Structure 1
Amino acid sequence: MARPREFETDRALERAMGLFWDLGYEEASLARLLKTMKITRGSFYKAFKDKHAVYLSTLERYDKQEVGATVAFLGNPENGSGRERILNLFNKIAQVAENDGDRLGCFLCNAMADKAAQGGEIEQRLQAMTLRLETAFRNALQDSYGSGLSQAPDNWTEETARGLLALYFGMRVLGRAGLAARMARDCVSQAEQLIDTAVTANAGQDPAKG
């Protein structure tokens, strides 16, 4: 009969993610990682092999929990039209920023700025997470304006989705820097203008009817 592990993997990974989130990959030494995860060196190597494997596991965890929740929100018709879903998402981020500054920011944003993101499996994982978000924005746009996109260029939704993604990441970075509370509402306004101006120009549809 197999012996139970001396720790709970989920809790250990949650603690590890918090450390990587706060310090980054390079600064999170193995000694500090073991202390934060509250496991022995032997248990660590049996379960995770090395720090790189733990980092990938924390990215996968964030992808399933946070990125997955955002993608699900943008794709759920019960949350309104595609336009409404997008703007509600930005408003939620703005609200967090206004309430507590959103100092935690976004783990994906932090990871993309980390040296560990330069090549290899980590870079591939980050690109896949980013593409999931971009696709969610694009699908929400098409849900809202599908009937009016026949006259628009083929790359309209792709360009607009990427602009929204850049705004989304920008708001999360500003939050970590303590600036989002002052700028959040302007970012929401820019998101709204980005959607409505492009649709009006390219499809001739009234955004308010989306």
Structure 2
Amino acid sequence: MARTKEFEVDEVLDKAIQLFWMQGYEKTSMQDLVDIMGIHRRSIYDTFGDKHALYMKALKRYESTKNKKLRLLVEKQEPVKELIRRFLESSMRKDDEPQGCFIVNSGVELGVLDSEVASFVEDSYSKTEKLLCELIQTGQQRGELRASLEPEAISHYLMNAWLGLRTMVKTATDPGKLSNIIRTILNTLN
């Protein structure tokens, strides 16, 4: 008879996300995962697979959570520039999570070494760009943004700016600098 799991899968996966996000894939050992997740090595293998499979599941869960938040932002009936400002500000330092973005960090660390991670990161970026494009189109339909803006090109630009902010936040100590960058990005939409 199979044993029932004595842990909540998403709860221990969230712990793995935090560790991978903080340390990266290469610096995280299986023992680190056992320690932080609070479950036995065998349970990790039985539930998630090897370290790489666990990493991919962690990336997928992180992306799912991030996309739900972004989708909720896009669906709000607020001025589009305000929503874009909030999207960009989501890059700012938060005390309750590691700096930067788990997906961005993964692309930087493993993008050229691991085709599965590279493909996942590229797909994730494309989904975010699609949501940004929808947001730009909504702003144009409401008359909040210039009709002459090219939604797809602007979504690529905003994504690139957001990725830069997600990377920069790891070392920038002056929040005013990041706020000035966000203000400049938003001015391109005028």
Q: TM-score, normalised by structure 2?
A: 0.85
Instruction: Write the mapping of 1:130-149 to structure 2, written as runs, cut at 5 A.
Output: 130-146=125-141
Write out per-residue CA displacement over residues 66-105 of structure 1, whole angstroms, 9 at most, x where no aligned residue.
23212331x2142x13333112333x437x54x86x8622
Instruction: Write the mapping of 1:145-156 to structure 2, written as runs, cut at 5 A.
Output: 145-146=140-141, 152=148, 156=150
- 37-46 vs 109-118, which moves further: 109-118
The residue number in structure 1 matching 2:58 is 58
> CA shift at 1:118, angstroms?
3.3
Partner SS for 1:195: coil
Alpha-carbon distance between aligned partners in 2 of 1:28 and 1:162, rounded to the nearest angstrom: 32
The residue number in structure 1 matching 2:158 is 164
Alpha-carbon distance between aligned partners in 2 of 1:150 and 1:178, rounded to the nearest angstrom: 32
Instruction: Write the mapping of 1:84-103 to structure 2, written as runs, cut at 5 A.
Output: 84-90=82-88, 92-93=89-90, 96-97=92-93
Instruction: Work out whether 1:193 is the aligned partner of 2:187.
Output: yes
> CA shift at 1:2, angstroms?
4.3
Alpha-carbon distance between aligned partners in 1 of 2:21 and 2:117, rounded to the nearest angstrom: 15
Pick one of 110, 115, 123 that aligns with 1:120. Answer: 115
The 3 A distance-change label for structure 1 pair 147 and 89 is: closer
RMSD across aligned C-alpha pairs, in angstroms? 2.6
Partner SS for 1:176: coil
The residue number in structure 2 matching 1:76 is 75
Give unmatched runs, 5+ long, in structure 1.
197-210
> CA shift at 1:179, angstroms?
3.3
The structure that is helix-richer by fraction is 1
Aligned pair count?
Answer: 188
Write out per-residue CA displacement over residues 130-167 of structure 1, whole angstroms, 9 at most, x where no aligned residue.
111111111111101137799748xx211111111111
The residue number in structure 1 matching 2:171 is 177
Q: TM-score, normalised by structure 1?
A: 0.78
Amino acid at match of 1:76: E
Alpha-carbon distance between aligned partners in 1 of 2:163 and 2:116, rounded to the nearest angstrom: 22
Alpha-carbon distance between aligned partners in 1 of 2:173 and 2:165, rounded to the nearest angstrom: 9
> CA shift at 1:117, angstroms?
5.9
Partner SS for 1:6: coil
> CA shift at 1:21, angstroms?
0.5
The 3 A distance-change label for structure 1 pair 147 and 42 is: closer
Is the 1:48–1:54 Cα contact (8 Å) retained in structure 2?
Answer: yes
The 3 A distance-change label for structure 1 pair 88 and 35 is: closer
Percent identical: 25
Q: Whose Rg is larger?
A: 1
Give unmatched runs, 5+ long, in structure 2.
none
